[in-house]
Each structure stands twice: as structure tokens, then as C-alpha cells.
Amino acid sequence: MSVRRVALDLPVLLQALLCSDAKSQALRQAWQGADCLPLVSAETAQSLISALSFPGLQLSGAQQQELLADFLPYAEVVQPLVTGRRPRAASPSLQLALSEQARASTWVSDCPKERGRCQRAWLRRQPDAVRSLSSDEFLASLSAPGQDVTS
């Protein structure tokens, strides 16, 4: 049995890192406790770094590094090499999830529009390729008996 390989949409990842509510804590615990293996590409890592340095967040350099250290050591770096057609204007995390090299089983996004586009544009052609779940659905699937943890 292997750990579920997941691509987290940037807003989901930022919420998990920046907030202290129960859902955010559960997401952090999922990757830190090896219940899932988050996937990251150079592009998604750079997006995360840019988002954490946004002036409106008022995070010091040390705080930014601490947040990155809460995530990056638990993530696997992959180079997204998507074969075939991919959804137009797909987010970097969706492109990563659809990458053949990533071997992702799940893409986690709380954006209904983006998830709907994913379902229509890609998953209809390859229904078993990647599961598209909201963060709540993802957390529920981790705690459900008989959870699917295939890679």
C-alpha cells in the first residue's frame, strides 16, 4: 500500500500554511504524518514563494522560511510533463496533477469553477486518471475506512 500522491491547488496550500483552523491543521497533518505525499513542481514552488512574500501578508523572511519548511520537506519535486491535450488555462497544480511523471491520484482544489473545468475538459476523457476533490472531500477520504491510497 502506498501513500496517496496529491497536487494541492495554491489557495488550498496557502490556507493550510497560513491559517490555524481545524481544516488547515488537518491538511498540514496529512502531509506531515505521511497520509499523503504532496507534489510540487518548480513552477508551483515559485508560486508558493511569491504568494508568501506578498506584502499584504506582512510575513518576515524568517516567517516565510518557516512556512516553506512546514511544507517543502514533505513534498516530492516532479517535473510536469503532460502528454496529450490539457485544459486551457489550467492552474499549475492541475497541470502538475495531470503530469504523467507526477503519477498523482488526487488533485485538491476548493474552486468549483476550476474543478468543473477539470472534470469536463480532462477527466471525461480519462476518468480514472486523477480524482478531483475539494479539501473537505479530501480530508474525509483520508479518514474513511477503506480509503483509496493507490499511487
**φ and ψ of 40, to 5 deg:** -145, 140
Domain count, the chain: 1
pLDDT tens string 12-66 = 999 999 999 999 999 999 999 999 999 999 888 999 999 999 999 999 999 999 9
Residue 148 lies in a domain: no
With beta carbons less than 8 A apart as the criterion, state whether 91 and 114 touch.
Answer: yes
The answer for 92, left when phi > 0, alpha when psi is -120 to 50, beta otherwise, is: alpha
What pLDDT, on a 0 to 100 scale, did the predictor assign at position 132? Answer: 85
Which residue is listed with cell 501513500? 3
What pLDDT, on a 0 to 100 scale, did the predictor assign at position 84? Answer: 54
Q: Which domain holds residue 34?
A: 4-143
- CATH code where residue 46 lies: 3.40.50
Q: Which residue has the higher pLDDT, 110 or 116?
A: 110
What pLDDT, on a 0 to 100 scale, did the predictor assign at position 123? Answer: 55
The rounded mean pLDDT for the chain is 84
Q: What is the pTM of this model?
A: 0.83
Alpha-carbon distance of 97 to 108, in angstroms, equals 9
Sign of CA dihedral 61, 65, 66, 70: positive
Residue 150 lies in a domain: no
Residue 149 lies in a domain: no
Q: Give the neighbor-by-neighbor strand order of the sheet with 36-40.
A: 76-77, 36-40, 4-8, 106-108, 131-133
